[in-house]
Amino acid sequence: MTKAAHSRKDSADAKADGKLPNVVPIRPDTDIDPLANFGVEGAVVVAPSPRRRVSKKFLIGIVVSVVALGAVAAGLVYARQRTNQRSVAAPTPVLEHVILNSRPDGAAVMVDGVSRGVTPLDVMLPVGAHEVLFRNEGGERLLTVSVEKGTRVSENVDMPAVVASGQLDVTSDPIGVRVSVDGTVAGRTPVKVRNLTVGHHVVVVSDGATSVTRAVEVSAGAAVSMFISLSTPPGGSNGTVAIDSPVELRLLEDGHVLGLSNGAPLVLLPGKHRLDLVNDALEMRLSRVVTVEANKTTRVPVTAPNGTLFVNASPWADVTVDGRSIGVTPLGDVSLAVGSHEVVWRHPQLGERKKTIVVGAQTPVRVTVDMNSR
């Protein structure tokens, strides 16, 4: 009997015994073998693993992951490059001296927009071009300074002139009278005359019938108050006061400036007046009580007080003051009239030296020279 015949016989016997399973046909529209879970005596029929279709979402997820990993890798490479760049030390700039001067001194200086101080100024600047701005009350000056390696730069700038000014406040009795300063009408009392240049000014106050002329000294940044009386007492006239002084004095009454001693006589009401005679530079402050008579001029003589001079020289010298010999150094407690004086030192081998000094009424003046210096 052939093998095939035996197989058919065995199958028939098994079927007769009821041991064979029912045959399940495989449908062509499925990929799953229905016999995969069935067993036959002593043997196991293994079905192939089911084939699953790959979805589009899965593929997109893979692509996104790959792109993200690439971006992370690129970021790590860039960060490493930046770290390497920062690790390289920047070169130290080369600095050179720059001297900045202005006429006059005291101008504020900005270099490349940064404040560096006031002139005269010595700064260290990197090699290259720099924008330097000088500024004072008069204005500004801007220039470009080129700094080269191994050089020392010096710049001198003439600044705009600072015009110093002061103010004059004029009041009068009666009020409402016309005021002119240096020939220019300034208004009617009470009046404030601003931006007057420093120095002497002539003030004229007039009501049409009577005029009063005064001299006044204006200081930088200061306000000078002046009071002028034009009132005439009943049945009488005003009088005038003239001050005779070897030095210039400001004349005040009750704190108001009336004028200067070397100016026009003061026009005052008849009667007693207490006048203050002041020169701050010479430390002078005197008071005088003056009786003014109508239609008369009262003269007030003033003798300037003396100050003290101490004078010395190295190694020694003959000294003269205003052409008058006062002896050989050292000299002390030399009494001199207040004001300016010329002092001359002479040495037979070392020559001559000269200085102008100002002697005040209170503080002693001490002056010395080195005859060996030139």
Q: What is the pLDDT of residue 85?
A: 60
> What are the CA-CA distances from residue 317 to residues 64, 346, 353 (Å)?
103, 5, 10
Q: What's the rounded mean pLDDT across residues 216-220?
A: 83
152 phi and psi angles, rounded to 5 deg: -120, 120
pLDDT tens column, 338-354: 999 999 999 999 999 99
Look at residue 132 and tell me whether its pLDDT is greater than 80.
yes
Q: Which of 59-73, 128-142, 203-217 has the lowest mean pLDDT?
A: 59-73
Q: What is the pLDDT of residue 223?
A: 83
Look at residue 62 and tell me whether its pLDDT is greater than 90.
no
Q: What is the pLDDT of residue 38?
A: 45
Rounded-to-integer distance, Cα 204 and Cα 104, Å: 36
Judged by DSSP in three states, 26 sits in coil
- Domains defined along the chain, listed by start: 3-40 (no CATH), 95-158 (2.60.40.1120), 165-301 (no CATH), 306-370 (2.60.40)
Q: Which of 82-86, 244-248, 310-314, 362-366 has the lowest mean pLDDT?
A: 82-86
Q: What's the rounded mean pLDDT across residues 75-80?
A: 71
Q: What's the rounded mean pLDDT across residues 189-201?
A: 88
Q: What is the pLDDT of residue 194?
A: 87
Q: What's the rounded mean pLDDT across residues 9-37?
A: 49
- Tell me the range of 9-13, 59-63, 252-256, 338-342 where mean pLDDT is highest: 338-342
pLDDT tens column, 135-191: 887 788 898 988 888 887 888 888 887 667 888 899 888 889 999 998 899 999 999
Which has the higher per-residue pLDDT, 284 or 138?
284
Rounded-to-integer distance, Cα 46 and Cα 253, Å: 135
Query: How distant is the alpha carbon of residue 235 from its chain centre?
Result: 63
Q: How confident is the model at residue 35 (pLDDT cuts 50, 70, 90)?
A: very low
CB proximity list for 178: less than 8 A, separation 6 or greater: 185, 187, 188, 205, 206, 207
Q: Which of 120-129, 204-213, 316-325 has the lowest mean pLDDT?
A: 204-213
Residue 168 near residue 182, CB atoms below 8 Å = no
Pairing of strands 121-126, 95-103: antiparallel
Q: How confident is the model at residue 89 (pLDDT cuts 50, 70, 90)?
A: low
Residue 348 near residue 334, CB atoms below 8 Å = no
3-state secondary structure 44-111: ECCCCCCCCCCCHHHHHHHHHHHHHHHHHHHHHHHHHHHHHHHCCCCCCCCEEEEEEEEECCCCEEEE
- Tell me the range of 16-25, 199-208, 345-354 where mean pLDDT is highest: 345-354
Q: Two tokens at 298?
A: 């009262």
Q: Which helix (H) or strand (E) holds 185?
A: strand 184-188
Judged by DSSP in three states, 360 sits in coil
Tell whether omega for the bond before 174 is within 30 degrees of 0, i.e. cis.
yes
Rounded-to-integer distance, Cα 293 and Cα 104, Å: 51
* Nearest partner of 344 among 369, 365, 366, 364, judged by Cα: 369
Which has the higher per-residue pLDDT, 137 or 328?
328
Determine whether 120 is exposed, middle or buried from the number of CB atoms within 10 Å of its CB (0-12, 13-18, 19+). Answer: middle
Rounded-to-integer distance, Cα 74 and Cα 348, Å: 92
Judged by DSSP in three states, 220 sits in coil
